[in-house]
A and B are shown apart, each in its own frame.
Chain A
Amino acid sequence: MSAPTTNDEQEHAARGPLWLEARSITKQFGAVIALSDVDVSFSLGEVVGLIGDNGSGKSTFVKILSGVYQASSGSLLVEGKPVRFHSAADARAMGVETVHQDLGLVDSMSIARNFFLGAERRKGPFLDLKRMERETSAMLREIGLGNLRAIGQDVSRLSGGERQAISIGRAVAFQRKMLILDEPTSALSIQETEKVFEFMRAARDRGLAVLAVMHNLTQVRDVADRFVVFYHGRKIADIVNTGQSEQDLAHYIIEGKLAEMGIEREQVDMGVIRAITTE
């Protein structure tokens, strides 16, 4: 088996041009190094699954991309030009939409009002509720959510998957370039997870770069076009999804971990590998 390759040369069929590049990103919190010299690039029309254990640095990385944190060193490039995200608003203005777990929607408001919150459609000084409702249901249908009973209902009455759909639909509708989803399926049933993947693919097919932070290897295989694995603040694998088995995937990850620990694969017996795999 060949060593894990970076994706740069391997083209995904539907993948669009390179959009965001994170170069040599390092983030320190006092003496603690949360991220160390991380390079990841994101292309339009591609779903990247970011995998890692707790403390691997993936949430720190996501926060840097969404403008919540600023990197200690390294740079971000959008379409080849260096950018600095000083705040979440900066990142959003550049086209990066981040969907935090259960944070982005106002439960007590209707679907359409949530959808257009902060970018309300107006007719003169008044809200154009009809248009907002029409556009919301059109967009939700487009990404695959067509069976909502009523567009006027409160978000509090929706399931977890439907909420994700609204957040994802919002990113698509407002023509963001990149959509970051933080553990989008962690609280969902299998069926709902599959639906959310549909929405993510729909967003990808409409040309967005999608980054999903996940910890479930089985699930990430179903949706990601590429896997990026973090371990102890470093990127240890960056693999195009070519339909590898879960076992293969685990091996890449283990090799990355072993390399990170300075151990050659040949030196290790399978007992250790199993131990690391099940970590």
Chain B
Amino acid sequence: MCEAAEGSTTGNRGSSEVSLRTMGSGFRSREASSAPTSGGPGGGVVAPEAPALSRWGSGSPLTRLVRQREFGIIAVGVVLFAVFSLASSGTFDSFQTWGGIGSSAAELGIVSVGVGFLMISGEFDLSVGANFAFAALVMATMVHDGYPPIEGLLVDLGIGIGIGLLNGIVTVFLNIPSFIATLGTYFLWSAVVLIVTGGTTITILPPTPTLLNVLGGFIGDQMRSEILWWLGIALVVGVVLHRTVTGNWIYAIGGKRMAAREAGVAVARTRVLAFVLCGMLAAFAGAVQLAHLGSMSAGYGSAYQLEAIAASVVGGCALTGGRGSMVGIVVGTVILQMLASGLILSGVSPYWYQAVVGIIIIVAVAMHTRIGAVVHGAES
């Protein structure tokens, strides 16, 4: 939603005429192909038709579309969709399939929104799977024992925020790399959840409380409300990421932390905030899955940390931070879920699933780095 929207605006192109007192083009920008070259080696010559400073520079709308960082991965998604639709003899592009894909994508997707946000700030959270199960199990126990579901949800979110805060404090103030810090808290919370619950599965038998239906019940025949929660959260966090100061700082911190600090960005506070958001969303995803499945156990969140990182990477988030977009994170999640179902429905041996995911990750990353280089002509 967000980067794409930016791309479609033309910014101040119309209003900015280049003043003639501009001191020529002693050097030119690296997009040599389209920049005027009349400056010549001597410099100081005014380019007669100096282009206005448009948002994305010259080029047809198509060229500009292709320049979007997400274009490649969206194209991959569309191609996969077409291939699966043809190969599955009509079972893939059905509402039923997409209801299923949507549900599982929603739960992973809510986790991925937080993980991707954090990744753009240059950090990891490997504890989301444990956080997910722990927070949701506490909520499940509370609902099961007759507490109002809303209290359960608040406690769930509180646990997520607390875990995120701890991750942030350990990483930022103890200066431990987040990969290590959250690996530590992953083990910690995985153990705590077993210690507290003894490993039992908590089941909330019907009648399902209203709140749980709101979080994960059916709306219509095939679709569950969790899809709306996911897209809504992605929209809100996407706006924060792309359209607010906080988001700007997240990119800056992930891109070059020193530069951000020099520019007066509240680096420590913003980094901790990203961890808190990630923790809170992991816990919320747990609540949503509890609502969907009606049960929760210590093992339910397993594998989410790696899948969420995979979804973010496929969607264009750089492992080193500073790059990525909400559209990309959402599309990355959809592609991963689409692969899981599409391969099965196309009759490919499911053994291939992980292999294909691996290939897609590598292709996506190669594409994100190469497309930028080729399209923007940075090789010159």
Contact = CB atoms under 8 A, between A and B. Distances in A.
Q: Do chains A and B touch in the complex (CB under 8 A)?
A: yes
Interface string B16-37: 1011001111111111001110
A131 B378 CA distance: 28
Nearest to A162: B29
A220 to B, nearest CB: 18
B29 A129 contact: no
A105 interface: yes
Interface residues on B, range: 35 or more
B50 A120 contact: no
Contacts of B16: 134, 137-138, 141
Contacts of B259: 103-106, 117
Contacts of B28: 147, 159
B322 A108 contact: yes
Interface residues of A, number: 50
Interface in B227-277: 239, 243-245, 247-249, 251-252, 254-256, 258-260, 262-265
Contact of A195 (B11, B19, B26): B26
B151 interface: no
Interface in B359-380: 376, 378
A106 B251 contact: yes
A159 B11 contact: no
A146 B31 contact: no
A5 B258 CA distance: 40
B376 to A, nearest CB: 6
Contacts, number: 171
Contacts of B34: 149
Contacts of B19: 141, 146
A151 B11 contact: yes
Contacts of B56: 150, 152-153
A117 B22 contact: no
Contacts of A156: 378
Contact of A146 (B50, B55, B239, B251): B50
Given A126-B244, A141-B18, A147-B18, A133 B55 contact: yes
Contacts of B50: 146-147
Taking chain B's interface residues, is the majority helix, strand, or loop, or is none over half, making it mixed?
A: loop
A89 B23 CA distance: 33
Nearest to B12: A134
Given A103-B262, A106-B252, A130-B12, A150 B27 contact: no
Contacts of A146: 18-19, 22-23, 50
A246 B18 CA distance: 37
B263 A118 contact: yes
Interface in B94-151: none
B245 A127 contact: yes
A137 B322 contact: no
A192 B27 contact: yes
Given A127-B243, A127-B245, A108 B12 contact: no
B53 interface: yes
A142 to B, nearest CB: 8
B55 A151 contact: yes
A36 B339 CA distance: 68
B248 A148 contact: no
A198 interface: yes
A110 B104 CA distance: 35
B184 interface: no
Contact of B26 (A134, A152, A194): A194
Contacts of B265: 117-118
B292 interface: no
Contacts of A138: 16
Contacts of B24: 147
B41 interface: yes
Interface string A99-120: 0100111111100010001111
Contacts of A159: 27-30
Contact of A137 (B12, B252, B254, B318): B12
Given A106-B256, A152-B6, 20 more contacts: A106-B255, A108-B318, A108-B323, A118-B263, A126-B243, A129-B6, A130-B9, A133-B55, A137-B16, A147-B18, A148-B53, A150-B31, A150-B55, A152-B11, A152-B55, A158-B30, A189-B27, A195-B26, A195-B43, A198-B26
**Nearest 6 Cβ contacts at the A-B interface:** A150-B57, A146-B22, A118-B263, A118-B264, A152-B55, A106-B255
Interface of A: 88-89, 92, 100, 103-109, 113, 117-120, 122, 125-127, 129-130, 133-134, 137-138, 140-141, 144-153, 156-159, 161-162, 189, 191-192, 194-195, 198
9 contacts: A119-B264, A127-B245, A129-B6, A133-B12, A134-B12, A147-B24, A148-B29, A157-B30, A157-B376
